[in-house]
Structure 1
Amino acid sequence: MKTGPGAIYWHVANKSELLVAATDAVLADVLAADASGETPQDAIRTVALGVFDAIDAHPWIGAQLSRLASQSATLQIFERIGRQVQALGVPGAAQFDSASALLNYILGVGGQNAANARAQEPGTSRADVLGAESALWSRLDPDQYPFIRGIAGQLRDHDDRAQFLAGIDLILAGIAALR
């Protein structure tokens, strides 16, 4: 154990600072990625998927990023998204709402997927969880839940990343309507 200069306790004062530093380290590659040559939409998708994958690999990041918008990593994600929203030609008055909608979607869906994964017993497969949930949905009262029953099979077989990107694309389509 290192106890002299260079030991972690020389660099962070408490657990909160440690989590901020760890989050910054995990997201460093995502936030340093060069977006030149990409369309603004593709650059947003790249950042969004990078954050989604980081949260998937390190579920605690989702909760950490949602704590304070002033954290370094959250500000950097917001800045990257905001620059691309500007590049899309979104009017100034709609830029905050547009970038915020994207940020909140990215953090919300990433965090929810991580929370769902953490809520399962160790060793439980995603297929088992989705299969059980899909079966439950298909047994719901058809008069109260006709929509849910109709999509139960899609739940069982869906791809989280593809569904996440579909949401990003829906938001981007809405943003495009602002121009």
Structure 2
Amino acid sequence: MERCSIRILLQQARYVKITAMQKNTPRREDGLSRERIIEESIALLDSRGEAGLTFRALAERLATGTGAIYWHISNKNDLLTSACNEIVTRTLKTAAADVSPEQAIRALALALFDAIDARPWLGSALTRAPLQSPMVNILEGLGQQICRMRVPMPQQFAAASALLNYILGVSVQNAANAQLGRALGGDRAAILGQVAASWARLDADQFPFTRSVAEQLLVHDDRADFLVGIDLILRGMFTTQKAHV
């Protein structure tokens, strides 16, 4: 009889403990889905950067266990690529419609430039997923406009690759420069002033061009310069098109 009473007391104590744990554990009102996991991953990446995206941190935000996340996402690389693809998909949708192919390419390029500038982790994720969905989606967006421009078929892939590499290369470098600027105090004018002053002191015979553009460095606009590069590539594509007419 005494053993039975002890067993009952232990069961009651266990029930009380479980009930207390359930009350103190946040409940998910909606079901866990891959889409929700990706949304929370983007929020983590925006607030903490790539280093802050861990399955433990994500599980805390979702009020679930890491095992539930692994049911939808295989690993961190899959998670990062999926988050990257979601942002790329949204960005491509913002590109102007019902415009000339040249205008569409400029809009797409500038949208990606701004997206990577706002989210430096995006550029890093893109460069590590060269054959995956995010890059393929960008390539397709550019390629469709290149076809509209009637660039000859043998030159289409080279033209799309040139645009893709330029857009990503410049955008990622611009984001890196912005991060470096913030690390140095965030005063862009002061930083550029120091660099321009150092360029102006270079040997005139060895660095004639760099010395000549030192003053332009102080007043240049990154987005405007980026679009100049896009226009140069488009101009080359137009020349190729005329040569084959």
TM (norm. structure 1) is 0.92
Task: Work out which of the residue numbers 210, 214, 218 in structure 2 matches 1:152.
Answer: 214
Distance 2:214 2:205 in 1: 15
Distance 1:63 1:81 in 2: 20
Q: Deviations over 1:126-155 (max 9, x none)?
A: 222212111111111111111111101111
Partner of 1:127: 189
Distance 1:59 1:24 in 2: 14
Give the Å deviation of 1:122: 5.6
Report how many aligned residue pairs link the two structures: 179
Identity %: 51
Query: What secondary structure is seen at the aligned counterpart in 1 of 2:240?
Result: coil
Q: Which runs of 5+ in 2 are unaligned?
A: 1-59
Give the Å deviation of 1:73: 1.3
Give the Å deviation of 1:55: 0.7
Would you say 1:177 and 2:242 are equivalent positions? no
Would you say 1:11 and 2:72 are equivalent positions? yes
- Residue identity in the other structure for 1:79: E
Partner of 2:162: 101
Change in Cα spacing, 1:50 to 1:136, as seen in structure 2 (3 Å) is same
Q: Deviations over 1:73-123 (max 9, x none)?
A: 111110000010110010000000001000000000001111222234163
Distance 2:171 2:148 in 1: 25
Distance 2:65 2:240 in 1: 56
Change in Cα spacing, 1:115 to 1:34, as seen in structure 2 (3 Å) is closer
Task: Work out which of the residue numbers 108, 132, 135 in structure 2 matches 1:71.
Answer: 132
What is the root-mean-square deviation in Å for CA atoms of aligned residues?
1.9
Higher helix share: 2
Partner of 2:143: 82
Task: Work out which of the residue numbers 93, 113, 116 in structure 2 matches 1:52.
Answer: 113
